[in-house]
Structures are given as C-alpha cells and as structure tokens.
Structure 1
Amino acid sequence: MSVENLAETFVELADTLVADFDPAEFMHLLADRCVSTLGVDAAGILLADHLGELQAVGASSDRARLLELFELQHRQGPCMECYLTGAPITVTGFTEPPQRWPEFSSAAVAAGFGAVHALPMRLREQTIGALNLFTVTENDLGETRVRVARAMAEVATIGLLQAQVISHRELLAGQLQHALQSRVLIEQAKGVLAERLQVDMSTAFQTLRQYSRNNRLHLGKVAEDVIDGTIDMTALTASRA
C-alpha cells in the first residue's frame, strides 16, 4: 500500500463527488479501489434503501456480490450485523468452529474466501450501510489497513449524504433508490452483453463501464440502452480495446 496509491485513491473518490453524481459508478469505484489500495481479494458494499432494507449495490467481483446476496437472503452474517450494530466485525477464519454464522461461513468457503472484515458506513450516529472486505487467506488486515479502510468508508458515506442530503432526507432516499434501480439494470445488461458478445459476466461489465466512462454517461443509462437495443454495438465493443 504505497503513499502514491493511497493519495490517488482519495483524490479519485473525492473527484467523484460532483454535481452530476452517479451513485452506481461511485459504489463500484469504491469496491475496486479497496482491492487495489488495501490488497484485499474482493470488496462489496451494502446500502440501506428508503425502507431501511439492505441491498447489494456494488462489488469488485461476482463472487463477492453473490456472497452478499446470499447473506441478505438468509438475513444473517457479519456484514448485516455490522450495519445493524454500527460496529466493525472481523472474521479471521471461516473453518475453525464454533461459527456464529454457519450457513454464511460455508458459503464464503465455497466462494473461495477465508476471512471478511465488515466496516460500517456511517456519519456520526447515522449508519447507511456496510463496506465488506474479503480475503482468500485466513488473516487479519492489521491496524494500518483497517484505519485506511475506515477512512475510505467515511469518504464514501460523506459522498452519499453530502450537506444538502443531510438536511433533505428525501434527496438521500432518491439517490440510494437510483443506485438500487441502476443495479438491476446493470445486471440485466451484463447478461445481454455476455450472450451477444460471448464473453463472461465480468468482461461484459467492464465493457459497460468503460463505455460509460469514455462517453461520460451514467452507468445505469448505458445499461438501459443495452437492454433496449438502442446502443451502438460497434462503439460499445470498441471501448474494450
């Protein structure tokens, strides 16, 4: 974890906090930066919607996303408990009994993970979600990396709340709901592209994201155009080059 990489991470996260804020892209940027900066193997983000229900809104890999969906479906696990309690939770190994969440532990091992560190996304007394860091090996991240991870979670939380959102909760609900709706469209578009281009889901997503960045379009809008069949497939596939 170099100083240069760390500086670039926070600059990129802060640069995203502009008027034309794209929550879906921001969540994926955060997950990717957790992997590259902290040296973890995968990262995922859970956010509460306007009804207080947790939703998986960003992940660095499909394995992490599916594991978080498993946790939400069974309504138990370290990431969910982290959100409910507002306190960090560390599981340094899934194979040693006794296990607090046996079903989640089995699913995590099956997904190839050995440990998870769940950090609350909170500002003062308000917790809006959880940032979850997965490693293949059974270990502890260490104090330095945990402190950096907490700082990244705090920056992300501030990005979602912002000053005007804190005073107008309706705007926050709208932003989070937009992120959740975009997530559904993105997953559908990934499937469409994977079939059309005969590529895996990860490659399909990277194609969507690169086109979005190259053309300064919201990720959800690009996904919608792919589903509707209105996007220029030649330009889209060229973005993979």
Structure 2
Amino acid sequence: MKAMPDRTPELGLARALVETVVTVADDFDEDRHLGRVSQVCAELLDALAAGVMYTDAQDAVRIATSRRGERLARELLEAQHLGGPCIDCFGSGKPVGPVRLAARDAVARWPEFAARATAQGVDVALAVALRARGRVYGVLGVFAAEPKADSALGLAQALADVAAAGLHNQRAYTECRDLSRQLQAALSSRIRIEQAKGILAERWQTGTDAAFGAMRRYARRERLVMDTVAGMVLQGTLDDAMLQDGYGPSR
C-alpha cells in the first residue's frame, strides 16, 4: 500500500519527532541532527530558511542550518553578532517573535540584522530556545517571507524541545560512556599491577609489598607509569637486574 502523505502540520510534526528522537549512539553527529531539525522546521512552516545556533560540548558556538535556504540561514545567524532575535532568545531563554522585521520597533532594536534580512526578502523572524533540564543549549531561528499562523511559534518550540532533548541525552550518554571507559581502564591497570606483583613475589620468594616497592622505584627512576612497568613484567621484557638495580627485594 502506498503511504499517505502528511496532510496536516500535526502529522508532519509527529513524523519529525519520530525521526529525531534517537540520538543516543556513538556515531551521533550534532550538526546533522540539528540540521535535520532545521530542515523539518523550514518545511513545516514553509519558511525561506531555518537554522540553529548552539554551543557544543566544548562551549564553542556552532551553526547548523536547513538545506532549504542554507546560505541565507547561515548568513542571518552569523549576522546577529551585533543583535538579533536569536541572540535575544539565547540570553533570556524566552521565545522571540514572530517579528515583522520592517516594523519600526524591529528596525530600532536590530538595525543591522533587520536591514540585511529584509534586503533578502525576509519579512518575519522568530526564535525559540533549545532548552532541556533547565539548560539552554542553543536557539532555533526561522526566517520567512510572510506572516505565519499563530501555531507557528508552538510548532517551532516543539521541534526545539526535541532537539534539545536529543543533545541532552547524547551528552549525558557520552559522559557516562567516557566515565565507564575510564573506570574500566583503571580496573584493568590495577589488575595488571597486582598480577605483576604476584609474579615478582613468587619469583623472588618475597612479599608482594617488596615486589611493589621495586616496581615503584623503577617507575620513578625511568619516569614511567606503574601500569607500563607492570605490563613489562607480564610480557617478560624487564629483567630482574634492571628492576632491582642494586636495591634487591627485601626478604
């Protein structure tokens, strides 16, 4: 059976939410995720362009745009360094617009941005925050040639909410994954050190404390980490004379 096309904004929004909900993956790409959200927003609102200005995990400002009007979206987002609806929204966390950019208030508020946008046929702009768990991750900006229905702001906010949830979930997953790897590495290191201590203690017929002391002195002398020394012992690449270096194990 041929799939029925989406006939209402609600169906389009539901499809978009399903498509953007899966973000917990090792190959997740934030730019691609937010670019997709921007494209869906531009399509559903029939806007000239849409884009997201956000901060990445290193707090660097990045931009992701819709394929529709990609150059326009990037230009208008970058043009807001001196002021614009996206900057205002990011600072307050509250929606801005929809705003008629030719209106006196908009021209007075963002003269450079308003002039650049209207010169390229953009009459209306709105901005909504990507907010999750009390944190603003960025802003979704929408640029249109004509006024939109009253539901436009709510629809854009719904897309921004799912985009923010995706970023939050992915970053939380990444933090947990990295912590798990660090803990596993620390545990593996500890096991190798204990194994090396046991090997030396048995070979030297001494206590494990004496074996550990010899390994630690060698590590300090050669400026190596203990895990590296333990690995050398396990691999048999470190002979007793080098390891003891005149100290010898205490019996």
Same fold (TM over 0.5): yes
Output the CA distance in 2 between the equivalents of 1:10 and 1:81: 26
Does residue 134 of the first structure (1) align with residue 143 of the second (2)?
yes
Q: Which residue of 2 aligns with 1:32?
A: 39
Q: Which residue of 2 aligns with 1:85?
A: 92
Output the CA distance in 2 between the equivalents of 1:118 and 1:170: 33
Output the CA distance in 2 between the equivalents of 1:41 and 1:8: 21
Output the CA distance in 2 between the equivalents of 1:35 and 1:3: 15
CA separation of 1:97/1:121 partners in 2, compared to 1, >3 Å: closer, same or farther? same
CA drift at 1:20: 2.5
Does residue 104 of the first structure (1) align with residue 113 of the second (2)?
yes
CA drift at 1:54: 3.4
Q: Which runs of 4+ in 1 moved over 6 A?
A: none
* Structure 1 residues 31-72: Cα deviation after superposition (integer angstroms, max 9, x where no partner): 111112233221110002456453323343211111111113
TM-score normalised by the chain length of structure 2: 0.59
The structure 1 residue matched to 2:15, chosen from 5, 8, 16, is 8
1:165 aligned partner, one-letter code: A
CA drift at 1:164: 5.7
* Structure 1 residues 117-146: Cα deviation after superposition (integer angstroms, max 9, x where no partner): 100011132101000111112x2541x332
Output the CA distance in 2 between the equivalents of 1:19 and 1:51: 17
Q: Is the Cα contact below 8 Å between 1:48 and 1:54 reproduced in 2?
A: yes
Q: Is the Cα contact below 8 Å between 2:98 and 2:153 reproduced in 1?
A: no
CA separation of 1:170/1:69 partners in 2, compared to 1, >3 Å: closer, same or farther? farther
CA separation of 1:152/1:56 partners in 2, compared to 1, >3 Å: closer, same or farther? same
Name the Cα RMSD after superposition. Answer: 2.6
CA drift at 1:16: 5.0
Structure 1: which 5+ residue stretches go unaligned? 172-241
TM-score normalised by the chain length of structure 1: 0.61
Does residue 159 of the first structure (1) align with residue 159 of the second (2)?
no
The structure 2 residue matched to 1:64, chosen from 73, 82, 85, is 73
CA drift at 1:7: 2.2
Structure 2: which 5+ residue stretches go unaligned? 1-7, 179-251
Output the CA distance in 1 between the equivalents of 2:177 and 2:123: 39
